[in-house]
Amino acid sequence: MSLPKLKQQRTFFDSDQALGRLLSVAPRGAERFMFFAEHIWPELVKQRKQLETMYCLDNGRPAEEPVRMAAVTILQFMERLPDRQAAEACTWDGRWKLALHMEVDEPGFHPTTLVKFRNRLLDYGLERIGFDGVLNAMREAGYLPKRTRQRLDSSHVVGLVSSMSRLECVRETVRLALEALESIEWLSRPEFWPVWWERYVDSKLDYKTDAKTLRLKMSQAGRDTRDLLHWIREQAASVGRLPHQAAKAVDLLERVYAENFEEKEEDSVDQRHSQPPGAVHNPHDPEAQWSSKSSTTPKKDWVGYKAQVAETVEQDSRAAKEPTRAVITAIVTQEATASDKAALPVVEADWVESDQEKPEELYVDGGYTSGAEVARAASEGRELKGPMAPPPSKEGRLSSDNFNVSIVERKAVCPAGQTSTNCSRLQEQKTGRVAYRFEWNRSQCDQCALRNRCLGKGQRHRTLQVGEHYDLIQARRLEQKTEAFQTDMQHRNGIEGTISELARAHGMRRCRYRGLAKAHLQNLMIGAACNIKRWCRRKIWEQQQPTDSTGPEAAVAIAA
């Protein structure tokens, strides 16, 4: 598609000329649109050179203005509107026309234009353009300083798929594969094709079916899938490669078969006792994975993704009814099975990508902290603030937390006051991970009063193995018991409210689209929408303060 020219010249039909006076008299409900037109639209215009790379400059049918499409995408998440209603708002809602710098009688566009625009953003790696554009505008306005304190937490995101049993997932995957292969006219159908079609395309599972019949159907689905894959391999060997869509359906069928069945004998296909981590739970979105949080009551489980959310921590306490100055600095979408510890470097890379410095202090919960991460932050001149998880221990047994360990001095003192007699440095060849093993000899342990609580069954003397950063872990566990640490950690609590705001006000809890890439695009647009609303509320509040207010833009009007 060819790129249209961006209209910069104003006319008498511009919405701010025709509607500006009306909205200035009765601005209630239009403040955020006026704010968007003045502060967000110019920033998106600056990003047009990047958006131009998605189009041909002078070839093909003229496209919709990409700056306007980016603005509409952000606005629809601010207002929680689907594509069709957002397209209609661009035609009939004067507030949207004002925000988008449209003329009063300018028509809108077809809703599918938004779908194609999002696909282009993903194809060209520009999904961050809206989020980063809002961050740049807030940085220029003084709301995002270079050196910051921030907090980080994760939240589950439910995928746009229905909950399926393993049998339903297998049968649905077979159905999709059969329908994809049916469209290939040159394939020679096997004699069992009508049977497969009747079982998996024309028939549905009855929810009243008893458990014994369901087990038989699962076994039958395993055998049919094996035979279907065997026939496909024979066809591929004789006629060549399958079309793209059919090949994708077959690849997915092979994956689902391997995750649910195993061939123990030549003619036997048995169901696996359990699925491997990251298994497909719905073939309509294979990237949506099952995960759970056992720390919540009741236990929370979902099929979808996980979002990591980071925001700044305000330096000073707020007055009554004062809007927050906190800015969402990063939203990273990851697989549901990914751990928080693994996400920390990814979030830090996200800050670097958006031209932000890593925060001087980062408040997290125990899911992010480890000796290695605390040491890495300290080596970079930063501080990772969060509680350290307790060491694993068996009930009634003394754990490593009861020992006084010094990695520097290469010694450890047990709860009975006995110093270790040997220290060995261990290093894994594959990972390079370093550990230290401390030992106490039998003469120390034989007569010890704590022997029954310290040694396991059949163990003659005590040994203790800890990581190379155990000194930091031990110091943090002692520090987190102090009142000063617990008071300081209250700065982390605000992220819970932010995640609630993103979920309840902007719909981050559920995906609008399928696939990890589209879920990430959705979350980035939600983050941009939330930052805009916060900035707008903050600026309105600053205007209502006396002229000596310390706000960075207290005397600046929202609209002309």
pTM of the model: 0.89
Q: Compute the average pLDDT of residues 483-495.
A: 94
Q: Compute the average pLDDT of residues 503-519.
A: 95
Q: pLDDT at position 551, please?
A: 47
**Do 86 and 114 meet the contact criterion of CB atoms below 8 Å apart?**
yes
Classify burial at 535, counting beta carbons within 10 Å of its beta carbon; exposed 0-12, middle 13-18, buried 19 or more: buried
Is residue 297 over pLDDT 90?
no
- Residue 329 CA to its chain's centroid (Å): 14
Given pLDDT bands bounded at 50, 70 and 90, which one contains residue 548? low
The partner residues of 412 in beta bridges, in order of sequence, read 405
Map 238-281 to HEC letters: HHCCCCHHHHHHHHHHHHHHHHHEECCCCCCCEECCCCCCCCCC
* Residue 298: cis peptide before it, omega within 30 degrees of 0: yes
Q: Compute the average pLDDT of residues 536-549.
A: 82
- The mean-pLDDT minimum among 206-220, 256-270, 272-286 falls in 256-270
**Do 253 and 173 meet the contact criterion of CB atoms below 8 Å apart?**
yes
Q: pLDDT at position 395, please?
A: 72
Q: Compute the average pLDDT of residues 492-517.
A: 95
- What percent of the residues of the chain are helix, what percent strand, and what percent coil, each to the nearest 5? 45, 15, 40
Per DSSP, helices labelled H in 104-165 are 112-123, 129-140
- The mean-pLDDT minimum among 106-120, 180-194, 249-263 falls in 180-194
Q: Compute the average pLDDT of residues 105-134.
A: 94
Given pLDDT bands bounded at 50, 70 and 90, which one contains residue 44? very high
CA–CA separation, 240 vs 148, rounded Å? 58
Q: In the structure encoding, which two tokens stand for residue 517, read together?
A: 């890439």
60 in helix, strand or coil?
Answer: coil
CA–CA separation, 137 vs 37, rounded Å? 13
Mind listing the pLDDT tens digit for each residue in 354-393?
A: 999 999 999 999 999 999 999 999 999 999 999 998 888 7
Q: Compute the average pLDDT of residues 409-424.
A: 92
Per DSSP, helices labelled H in 333-459 are 340-353, 371-379, 442-446, 451-454
Query: Average model confidence (pLDDT) for the chain?
Result: 89
CA–CA separation, 366 vs 74, rounded Å? 34
CA–CA separation, 254 vs 173, rounded Å? 10
Is residue 518 over pLDDT 80?
yes
Given pLDDT bands bounded at 50, 70 and 90, which one contains residue 107? confident
Q: Compute the average pLDDT of residues 97-112.
A: 88
Q: In the structure encoding, which two tokens stand for residue 291, read together?
A: 């995960």
CA–CA separation, 89 vs 307, rounded Å? 30
Q: pLDDT at position 105, please?
A: 81
Given pLDDT bands bounded at 50, 70 and 90, which one contains residue 24? low
Q: pLDDT at position 265, please?
A: 74
Q: Higher confidence at residue 425 or residue 2?
A: 425
Cβ within 8 Å of residue 542, ≥6 positions away: 549, 551, 553, 554
Is residue 3 over pLDDT 90?
no
Percentage of the chain exceeding pLDDT 90: 66
